[in-house]
Structure 1
Amino acid sequence: MKANAEDEIILSSLPIERGFAFHSMYLFQEFWCPSTLIEGVKIFHKQFQAKESDIFVASFPKSGTTWLKAITFAIVNRQSFSSIDNHPLLTSNPHQLIPFIEIMCRDDADWPSTEPRVFGTHTPLPSLPNSIMECNCKIIYICRNPFDIFVSAWIFFDNIKQESLTPLKIEEAFEMYCNGIIEFGPWWSHMVGYWKESLAKPDKVLFLKYEDLKDDANFQVKRIAEFLGFPFTQEEENNQVIESISKLCSFEEMKNLEVNKSGLLFPSVENKSFFRKGESRDWVNYFSPSMTEKLSQIMEEKFGESEMTTGRIKQYLFAIRPEKKIQHVIRLVIHRMLGFSCGIFSVTMEANAEDEIILSSLPIERGFGTPSMCLVQEFWCPTLVKELNIFQKQFEAKDSDIFVASFPKSGTTWLKAITFAIVNRQCFSNHNHPLLTSNPHQIVPHVEIVCRGDLDCPSIEPRVFGTHTPVPSLPNSIMECNSKIIYICRNPFDIFVSAWIFFYKVKPESLTSLKIEEAFEMYCDGIIEFGPWWSHMVGYWKESLAKPDKVLFLKYEDLKDDANFQVKRIAEFLGFPFTQEEENNQVIESIIKLCSFEKMKNLEVNKSGIIHRTVENKRFFRKGESRDWVNYFSPSMTEKLSQIMEEKFGESVNMWLRKKVCTVLSDNYVLSLSYRSFRNKEVLHVVNPCD
């Protein structure tokens, strides 16, 4: 297949630029095509005849192509190579097993003889041949954070560039990238093209995200197999075939294979160049604040109206603690997040001028486990501004709904389990109970995360949700209907220790760890996810006094002291009282045992499972104790937090400091925390017995 004279005339009139790795690229059909591939791309576009069974692994360069090729090959050929020991991926680079079709067309190479034929392509969707778009073949597209694409592309192309080509400084390459001048760019039109096609033809185009594949490879492998028409059987799942494929195709496994350490794909391209780090958010090690700001603005401009980036831009930006120079960019991205189509609500909202003005002026701080929080409606909202907006404006509560409300690390997991067990006790026996195989946060999802679309809305009534949202920010539909709210509070001393340790374990890797002294100062200032903690607690406390039939205010310590009484109290409040027969049959005791810390902590799902993509279930089960704070607090910390509680809670301080004396050994001092009556108000008296 050869280009004709007409093709040559057209080619000579095309704009030309240097690329990251090539002396020249042609702006062909609105994308930058490397000069060495222009012939193959034209032949592919005009003459390729697709088959119904064909599979195309499509991507923008440096988006996870090698990984997706390996996974796709392993899935569709798993019956031919049932043993991992003799698998072709152990001796061949994925690009050899799934060749780029542009290169095959250029070199007039032999086509695969077995079906399904699997090809790779970097060609943008509008330039694919009609034969592909008009038949029933499948396209899998993988997309990646544009920040990471740039860094990976700059390093990769520098390693494989033509020898006579001068290296690009990062600043030069970045300017080209921002202008879309990169092999197969512009990157934004490449991504959006396949994204829109996946929406229009979901049975033909599967749109994957590199980060999602990193977060849960097993789930995505199963999803790919089903899309391609090669679903895993139950027997295969039981035999852990999915896990075997994920491991075989993992970055670590492939990088350490001899073929990928020493082989050559093309005369000048070493196989090892395709295996550098395989990480997400590596861009934070290369970008300056001004680069971050500029690329963020471009993404906002190019993807602004596309649902493709809902939640994703924010996630990319919040991977690092924002510097002052880019805070306004983050605010800009946040208010764009007010435009969405999400989850169970299926609504579209536009960010109006008032929203933009309000959001652009919000204070921003880092959190315990979140790179950036906005002070929204007088509480620190951790990267959930869009979800909060959906929750407040669109959520329609039902009279039968139940909300398990809490400040983080106050006993939420425990109360969710108990509530679910109470209201569903007629449906399940203790032998087949969902709590034995699912984490309580999966069964009773946080409504803010349901709004984000990461978890499904409960379909069975009564619907039971969790929420950390303060009571003044709850939707009117909740406050005005007959739904029920159970709020659990905990000793603020224990909350601090539990939150500091929990968020340390689940924070993004790129976020610096907080020393206990730093975290304590933030906590005392109310700067913590969903804080200030005092206004959160007092808000629900007052609501429980004003509307005792709607809000039940529980104390973690009371639940620890007498679980039987509190479980019975919860059931009566919710309208699911235990019958005398149930009490005689020790149903209350069975629920307490099922939901106990010891029982849940030792379940396999809570020892090894993952929730919210990156949070291990075991993180929700540390000690489950009261007064663990005595092992962490210094005398000065004890005194300071006690004074804050006295100031913020006043007469209600005795909600937690119920015992007249609590002794704490620290640095050879004994702190005696005692009450004394003064002007009809209980105050905390801190005594140093050495005085």
Structure 2
Amino acid sequence: MAQVMEGSATNSHGTDDPLSKLPTREGWSEPLVLYKNYWLRPRFAATIMRLQNTFEARHDDIILATNPKCGTTWIKALAFAITNRSRYEFGHHPLLFHHPQEVVPLIEIPRDGGMTYVETLPSPRLLATHIPLSLFPDSLATCGCRIVYVCRDPKDALVSRWHFENKVHRERSIDFEAAFNMFSEGFSGHGPFWQHCLEYWRESIACPNRILFLKYEDMMSEPVKYVIRLATFLGVPFSIKEEEDGIPEEVVRLCSFDKLSSLDTNQTGELVRHGNLIVEKSVFFRKGKVGDWVNHMSQEMGRKLDCIVEEKLKGTGLVLSFSDHGVCNVEAVRPVCPREAAVEPARAGDRSIGRRRAWGPSAHGTAVCASNEHQRLAAMADIENPGGGGGVVDARPDPDRRCAPLLCMVGALIAFCVLSMLFYRAHRAAGLGSAQVMEGSATNSHGTDDPLSKLPTREGWSEPLVLYKNYWLRPRFAATIMRLQNTFEARHDDIVLATNPKCGTTWIKALTFAITNRSRYEFGNHPLLFRHPQEVVPFLEIPRDGDMTYVETLPSPRLLATHMPLSLFPDSLATCGCRTVYVCRDPKDALVSWWHFENKIHRECSIDFEAAVNMFSEGFSSYGPFWEHCLEYWRESIACPNRILFLKYEDMMLEPVKYVIRLAAFLGFPFNIKEEEDGIPEEVVRLCSFDKLSSLDTNQTGELVWRGNLITEKSAYFRKGKVGNWVNHMSQEIGRKLDCIVEEKLEGTGLVL
């Protein structure tokens, strides 16, 4: 282990400089300095410090960020080819004559030691960096430009980095064991490796429209899919004609390892880096294989490194793609966006027929566990509703989904059958908790069988609930959702506002209506001053007059709301590519608000709070389990950040103007500079505030007619809207109990309610 010293980094003249006060230690080929929690080569640390004052970012810059040896050369080539495809023909493309490292400069390794070349590039500039996100120059961190980050299995990254370092610094080569030990302790250029990844990961969740987080392994597995996704994120999406003409495939071929590594321009000659570092062009192309680490380190070393990284990332939701080798193997169960799934041709030249993966708990790797009452009932419902998430499960081999061995499948099937039979018999004789669960009790008003009649049912809050594809629903909503599968015609520019009940639904409806219609109405004479937010944005599953006629006649883009779980979306909505905004809330506040609401509109069958807490905690509430509902949208927002915006009610309440600006940008109605200077975002916040809306006569008097027979008082939608109001209705002990249940259900997902 190398000794860490303070104040040893002096310049070539021996005089003090900013680096001289930083801790230093032995690195791979030269000493490293510790600057703001990251180990850096001294010259890079000095450049990063200098960039703080000299680098002028532009709002349309595109930054390609990576840890070293994590697909940097590939993402440079792909981004350059995608953004310049209208300028160059593939047969005479600059990438055939210039190294990818030449066409996209690294910010911290400028040409000739200065930023002149970068400053003269036309907009939008393609720039690359290995700089950790927290060390970005202020102008770059605040300009709002797009960032693409590519991470990689740490083991493969380590092996590739070791080869690269020893080729570039032959006179100071390092043996693999020493490199492994330093890497595992966090000592490598731009390290710790895991912290570098985690910063970008967290920011990609907070700002999905600004940062696209990709995994090298995913890109290698389905390159066309990710090229299409990358183009969309960069603001240069492929047109339908381009996709039909196979342009994404042409980009993939041009930028493939085999193609680029075979070119003379990439195999001969040198690159001059930072004015004095000369690197052979060929060293940037070694193998590019996934899992090549097995040829350089033992299984034991692989397990050790996996365990270290797993421990460092525990509870963050980020899982790096570990390989199969034992106890610390963690499979990255990443949700795949059906709307962005690559199309599989049915025959040569036919790009119109494709398959999509199912959404839902089963599509995210959540196994049915017979040790839990709710999940056993979910299994029973799956028998009645094969397919779970409502889509066609893609049967092609998927690196993110390893097939279970046949023996395990057979054993699981036998165990399932036995447990289901025992469970069925037990519940024929006894109730589940406070309510009995029955099969086949949901019949229509005429007593005849309908699709609901085969679903398990149980006592709900104000009426029985049926279990449909792993979710507890009111029978009338379940019937509507089934009907919507065949009747609802989505549009690509629809905007869907999704929530669990009592999680800011009325507020998000008002905000979105005000944002998207701000050019049509003055704030002093706005429709929201005279109409309830629930009236201006209709619910999909609660149509007016019992059909979808009103929704079908709405002009585009339509604003639509739903409480539907993502996995129950109609196929047309799941695949049309429309935008979805999801708002979640602290489960304790949501529970209290839901209980008040239910007891107001169903006074004749009100429920006491303790019973509501117990059922909610077991997952038995309308559209429940609550946590699974949130988790579906959360996972999909990570997989498809350009399609789903995941918001938290508490964050919005804390900084409403910030989130109104963010919401407007996501919806495709961004505020311009003049609007922001004129305070229009603040006007939207004031118009849609709880105090403003709840004080209006239109929201305090009168009734809303839902579905022809359900009437609710308008005032029932405005109670308090406070964060933390649960403390006035449940004890700290009950609050802790519910927190523990939710925390356990969400463990390892990265979602924290």
The TM-score, its normalising length taken from structure 1, stands at: 0.51
Q: Deviations over 1:151-207 (max 9, x none)?
A: 11111111111x431x21111111110121111111122111111222222222211
Q: Distance in 1 between matches of 2:52 and 2:383?
A: 60
Identify the match of residue 411 of structure 2 among 508, 531, 541: 531
Q: Distance in 2 between matches of 1:220 and 1:271?
A: 26
Question: What displacement does 1:145 show?
Answer: 1.2
Q: Deviations over 1:284-333 (max 9, x none)?
A: 23232442333223213321131122xx4xx51xx3343xxxx3x45xx6
Q: Distance in 2 between matches of 1:343 and 1:217?
A: 14
- Aligned residue number for residue 245 of structure 2: 239
1:51 aligns with 2:54: no
- Aligned residue number for residue 506 of structure 2: none
- Indicate conservation of the 8 Å contact 1:44/1:129, yes or no: yes
Alignment of 1:501-512 (within 5 A): none
- Aligned residue number for residue 223 of structure 1: 229
Identify the match of residue 68 of structure 1 among 75, 84, 99: 75
Alignment of 1:84-483 (within 5 A): 84-104=90-110, 107-108=113-114, 109-111=116-118, 112-161=120-169, 163-165=170-172, 167-266=173-272, 268-309=278-319, 312=320, 315-316=321-322, 319-322=323-326, 327=327, 329-330=328-329, 437-439=353-355, 442=357, 447-450=361-364, 469=368, 472=370, 476=374, 479=377, 483=381
Question: What displacement does 1:209 show?
Answer: 1.2
Letter in structure 2 aligned against 1:227: F
Calculate the aligned-residue CA RMSD, in Å: 4.4
Q: Deviations over 1:524-566 (max 9, x none)?
A: xxx4346255445555678899999959xxxxxxxxxxxxxxx
Q: Distance in 2 between matches of 1:550 and 1:532?
A: 23
Q: How many residues align?
A: 405
Does the C-alpha gap of structure 1 residues 573 and 288 become closer, same or farther in structure 2, counting only changes over 3 Å?
A: same
Letter in structure 2 aligned against 1:76: T
- Indicate conservation of the 8 Å contact 1:263/1:271, yes or no: yes
Question: What displacement does 1:96 show?
Answer: 0.2
Runs of 4 or more above 6 Å deviation: 3-7, 340-344, 541-549, 569-575
- Indicate conservation of the 8 Å contact 1:484/1:550, yes or no: no
Letter in structure 2 aligned against 1:117: R
Question: What displacement does 1:450 show?
Answer: 3.6
Counterpart secondary structure, 1:531: helix
Counterpart secondary structure, 1:103: coil
Counterpart secondary structure, 2:64: strand
Letter in structure 1 aligned against 2:105: P
Q: Deviations over 1:72-117 (max 9, x none)?
A: 1111111111x10111111111110001111117612522432211
Q: Distance in 2 between matches of 1:127 and 1:279?
A: 30
Does the C-alpha gap of structure 1 residues 168 and 86 become closer, same or farther in structure 2, counting only changes over 3 Å?
A: same
Q: Distance in 2 between matches of 1:198 and 1:572?
A: 41
Counterpart secondary structure, 1:223: helix
Q: Distance in 2 between matches of 1:438 and 1:296?
A: 36
Does the C-alpha gap of structure 1 residues 508 and 300 become closer, same or farther in structure 2, counting only changes over 3 Å?
A: closer
The TM-score, its normalising length taken from structure 2, stands at: 0.47
Question: What displacement does 1:282 show?
Answer: 1.7
Unpaired segments of 5 or more residues in structure 1?
345-435, 453-467, 489-502, 552-568, 576-691
Q: Deviations over 1:17-51 (max 9, x none)?
A: 3332x322222233222234344323223210011
Does the C-alpha gap of structure 1 residues 483 and 39 become closer, same or farther in structure 2, counting only changes over 3 Å?
A: closer
Letter in structure 1 aligned against 2:280: E
Q: Distance in 1 between matches of 2:57 and 2:24?
A: 30
Q: Distance in 2 between matches of 1:29 and 1:477?
A: 47
Letter in structure 2 aligned against 1:14: L
Letter in structure 2 aligned against 1:283: W
- Indicate conservation of the 8 Å contact 2:19/2:42, yes or no: no
Counterpart secondary structure, 1:164: helix
Q: Distance in 2 between matches of 1:148 and 1:137?
A: 30
Counterpart secondary structure, 1:158: helix
- Indicate conservation of the 8 Å contact 2:99/2:265, yes or no: yes
Does the C-alpha gap of structure 1 residues 14 and 486 become closer, same or farther in structure 2, counting only changes over 3 Å?
A: same
Does the C-alpha gap of structure 1 residues 153 and 199 become closer, same or farther in structure 2, counting only changes over 3 Å?
A: same
Q: Distance in 2 between matches of 1:62 and 1:235?
A: 35
- Indicate conservation of the 8 Å contact 1:482/1:550, yes or no: no
- Indicate conservation of the 8 Å contact 2:336/2:357, yes or no: no
- Indicate conservation of the 8 Å contact 2:48/2:137, yes or no: no
Q: Distance in 1 between matches of 2:200 and 2:244?
A: 34
Letter in structure 1 aligned against 2:362: E
Does the C-alpha gap of structure 1 residues 6 and 159 become closer, same or farther in structure 2, counting only changes over 3 Å?
A: closer
Counterpart secondary structure, 2:147: strand
- Aligned residue number for residue 28 of structure 1: 35
Q: Distance in 1 between matches of 2:117 and 2:138?
A: 21
Letter in structure 2 aligned against 1:66: T
Q: Distance in 2 between matches of 1:536 and 1:481?
A: 9
Q: How much identity, in percent, do the aligned residues show?
A: 30
Q: Distance in 2 between matches of 1:7 and 1:249?
A: 46
- Indicate conservation of the 8 Å contact 2:53/2:137, yes or no: yes
- Indicate conservation of the 8 Å contact 1:40/1:107, yes or no: no
Counterpart secondary structure, 2:238: coil
Question: What displacement does 1:136 show?
Answer: 2.3
Q: Deviations over 1:615-660 (max 9, x none)?
A: xxxxxxxxxxxxxxxxxxxxxxxxxxxxxxxxxxxxxxxxxxxxxx
Does the C-alpha gap of structure 1 residues 475 and 254 become closer, same or farther in structure 2, counting only changes over 3 Å?
A: farther
Does the C-alpha gap of structure 1 residues 529 and 206 become closer, same or farther in structure 2, counting only changes over 3 Å?
A: same
Q: Distance in 2 between matches of 1:139 and 1:481?
A: 42
